[in-house]
Structure 1
Amino acid sequence: MKRVMVDQGSGVEIMYPDLYKGLNLKLEDLTAYDSPLISFDGKTVVPKSQIRLPVQSGPEVVEVDFVVVDAYSSYTAIILRLWLHSLGVVSSTLHLKVKFSSRDQIEELIRSQFVDRQCMAATILH
């Protein structure tokens, strides 16, 4: 997955339409989810459904419950605290990276400032 936001303050993991379509998921893969969410701009969004998928980070795989939201985002997904905690991630917004221990070594996921700028520009233009 590309263009994934790691948000320590978010309440649920979010999947946007681009990722849902890109993974060729089917309606029968989804389960009901009807609790409304508040978006970053303060609007209420009613999700379509949710799905549990494995997310691989380096050699580690964690099952994540994504809420599928039919809304525009320049990101494909938002990952939150539960994912961070399950991997024992230490994140640094200053250094734009997360680190976690895996199989006797330290794994590192590094954020791209270029992609961040592209996402921000796309969101502003939308």
Structure 2
Amino acid sequence: MSVARLPAGDSGQCPKRSKPDAQPILGFSDEDKIGTIQPHDDALVITLRIGGYDVKRVMVDQGSAVEIMYHNLSKELNLKPGDLTPYNSPLIGSEMVEVDFIVVDVFSPYTAIVAKPWLHTLGAVSSTLHQKAKYLSKCQVCEIQGDQSVARQCLVVAIQHRPEAESSAKAERGL
């Protein structure tokens, strides 16, 4: 496991104002569900700018404490071994907009997973129900729209995936 530190988002901070109600409030309403297929239980899968590239199939995981980048993406971003550092400490996030990704070499239908550290650093609020993440940038509410079609494709790929090594190891043991 290795760590890659890459920019992934916008700080979204508004200048301090004298009135406490001057800053927009982040929230969701039924209008935010327009354009989504309801009811659903789809993951929030977005396209996110990472390392200067638009990266598709990034899952937003509100319950995870660490950002994950899969090995194939690190190769596509041309990250060299010198760009990565060994990771052997507890899985915690940073307080900068720069995100520490754990690079793992395992199968995933996703290219990356952003989690609580990214959400908190960006000041973002996400909703799988509404298929959106919202954050403040220059005192305006910005939205990142999820893609339910891609989320469902990722789910199908994950369900259909049969690990070659695991299957052959079980076959050799007679399982």
TM-score category by the smaller chain? 0.7 to 0.9
Identity of aligned residues (%): 61
Query: What's 1:79 paired with?
Result: 114
TM-score by length of 2: 0.56
Q: For residues 86 and 158 of structure 2, what CA distance do their matches in structure 1 show?
A: 28
Cα deviation, residue 19, structure 1: 0.9
Indicate yes or no: 2:76 matched with 1:28.
no
Q: How does 1:111-126 map to 2 (within 5 A)?
A: 111-126=146-161
Relative contact order: is structure 1 or structure 2 higher (C-alpha 8 Å, sep ≥ 6)? Answer: 2
User: Which among 52, 61, 64 is matched to residue 10 of structure 1?
Assistant: 64
CA distance in 2, matches of 1:81, 1:12: 7
Q: Which runs of 4+ in 1 moved over 3 A?
A: 34-37
Q: Indicate the residue corresponding to 2:29 in structure 1.
A: none
**Residue by residue, what CA displacement relative to the aligned partner does 1:16-73 show, whole Å, maximum 9, x if unpaired?**
0121111011001110113698xxxxxxxxxxxxxx9xxxxxxxx9200001111000
| In structure 1, distance between residues paired with 2:88 and 2:142 | 36
CA distance in 1, matches of 2:160, 2:128: 25
When normalised by structure 1's length, the TM-score is: 0.76
More strand by share: 1
CA RMSD of aligned residues (A): 2.0
Contact 2:65 2:117 in 1 (8 A): no
SS at match of 1:2: strand
Q: Is the 8 A contact 2:134 2:143 kept in 1?
A: yes
Distance in 1 separating the partners of 2:100 and 2:88: 14
Decide which structure has the larger Cα Rg and report it. 2
| In 1: Cα distance, 2:85 partner to 2:71 partner | 16
1:79-121 deviations in Å (ceiling 9; x for gaps): 0111111111111111010101101211100110100011011
Structure 1 residue runs of 5 or longer lacking an equivalent are 38-51, 53-60
